[in-house]
Structure 1
Amino acid sequence: MRDLATEFEAERGRLLAVAYRMLGSRGEAEDAVQETWLRYAAALADPAARAEIRHLGAWLTTACARICLDVLRSARVRREAYPGQWLPEPVVTPLDQGPRIDGFAPDPAERAVRTDQVGTALMVVLERLTPEQRVAFVLHDVFAVPFPRIAEALGTTDAAARQLASRARRAVQAPDAPRDTADPAEQRRVVAAFVAAVESGDLDALVRVLAPGVVLIGDSGGHFPAARRPVVGVDAVARFVLGLFGRAGRYGATLRARPVLVDGALGMQMEMVYSDGRPLRLVAALAVDGGRVTGIFHQLNPEKLRDVPPLGADDGWPPRW
């Protein structure tokens, strides 16, 4: 007798990775995977539907993609009313646990076919796409799903699916899109230089580690003051970052931080505790390309940080590598 739960659990991690890349929300990804399970169980109870399941992984991916497509279409309306800038929920992984946890962070075998982008930068660029473009791009360029299967998920033709993926790829590779292509060694070197410049308050040193078109985005969900538009350009971003840390010092805030993986790329988990005991927690993801920081993404919305474990007593500032 088939063990449905065991068969499905073997695919859960990959389905979570697919759904998270499409939706940018851990909670929504988990809900989509649970709905996929319900559809799978219902299909097995129907002899005609069960006969269509020739390859379990492919069938589940198609079902999950259809669910995500519906969620994306409704999410566009919700995000238009979102207070301030929107960033995905960060998936934070301790450095000593490697690049994969709970099926969310990208595994090398699941990395892009044509794009070498990783991390939050890619998730931010994906927000520019239509729901159909995002599904086509994630399935093909990130998870190497063949176009006939993508066309089935989207209810369209192979040619149309290819066109959707192609348009999405052009948006991801657009000149103004932040690039995040560095290997772990380069990420560590550049992020360490960034932290050192911030710690010293050296504007010139910070400018040298920032790419010309660097962008800074902060998502507070309306809970804290944050820039309502992206901060763009070396000088503007450098002064904004130093001003942020300078204000913390002037208000007597205690700063703690820990290097972590954020969506599979090097970043920092941080906490500012003010003299009155008020904490400000955030997760900073940094995109690195060509030896410089191309994007800084601050997630401050406490509703999106619920699953992030607290910092330990040994974590301080500057962070220990």
Structure 2
Amino acid sequence: MTHTWTAIDFETANADRGSVCAVGLVRVEEGRVVDRYSTLIRPPEQVSFFSRHNTAVHGITAADVVGAPTWHSVRDRVLEFAQGGALVAHNAAFDMGALRQACAHTGQDLPALDYACTLALSRRTWDLPDHRLPTVCAHIGHDITQHHRADADAEAAAHIMLAAMRGYGTTSLPELVRAARMPLRKAEAIAAAVVPVLAAPAPPRAAATEDRFSRWQQAAQAPLPEPSPDADPAGPLFGRTVCVSGDLAAMDKPEVWKRVAEAGGRPAKNVTKKTDVLVVGDSDHGGKTSKHRQAETYIAKGQRIDIITGSELMARLGMASA
């Protein structure tokens, strides 16, 4: 089904990729949008709390999904809608990770799926100040008015892919990825599994009232993800060691580390002689953090370290900062 593919976008309730709370789907056949589907989702029980960071981005709350279908049924709808064709997403590593992790939480199987990333494609196709979804949409003339709504973002990814096809003079996804010299990726199948019944999750307010010190402790103990082998080598963070200092408004540190790893970067918890990028957020005292000062010491000795803000990191990741 090389002429049929589906653009997809997930929104999540919290930093866990499997906490899917909305999905948007746009199917394209023979270069034309032929169908659309979107729904809110009740996230899997073990990851069903809504973090303030994620709600601030997409506006979805726990109350909004009370009557929504569960991932058990939505997973079937997604696969039925795609009809065996490839999936397309802007920063596809995130959306494919959400799809796989949600199935892992619920013990559902998932077939092998081909997919392509419009973020990586955009970087190879258009010379732009950044390659966030709104920036690329403005360049191709697609009006995206409700960024971070799953249906709107899936629609945008579909139009980016179609614009690239016109630019390269191709008519199918395989032809396009060959012309752009970027591979069509494949997510391996996962088998169904028995998921133990878990106790009811803590109420959302427990996360909301969690103090900064507790969050820091959790981040310090969290493992660092490995750089994705599917990342775009042309991406601005590919192969670079990235450290975060302080709190970022857009997301917690473990989520930042996942995003950096998906972009092919190496997340790090401390500033060292290997550090390439330091992302500076808010500190508890309002001044420079110890990591910031350490980076400046290395810079004074001749090491190149880019010191950037959270908003600049979002731009490098191809994401909006709000």
Larger Rg: 1
TM-score normalised over the length of structure 2: 0.25
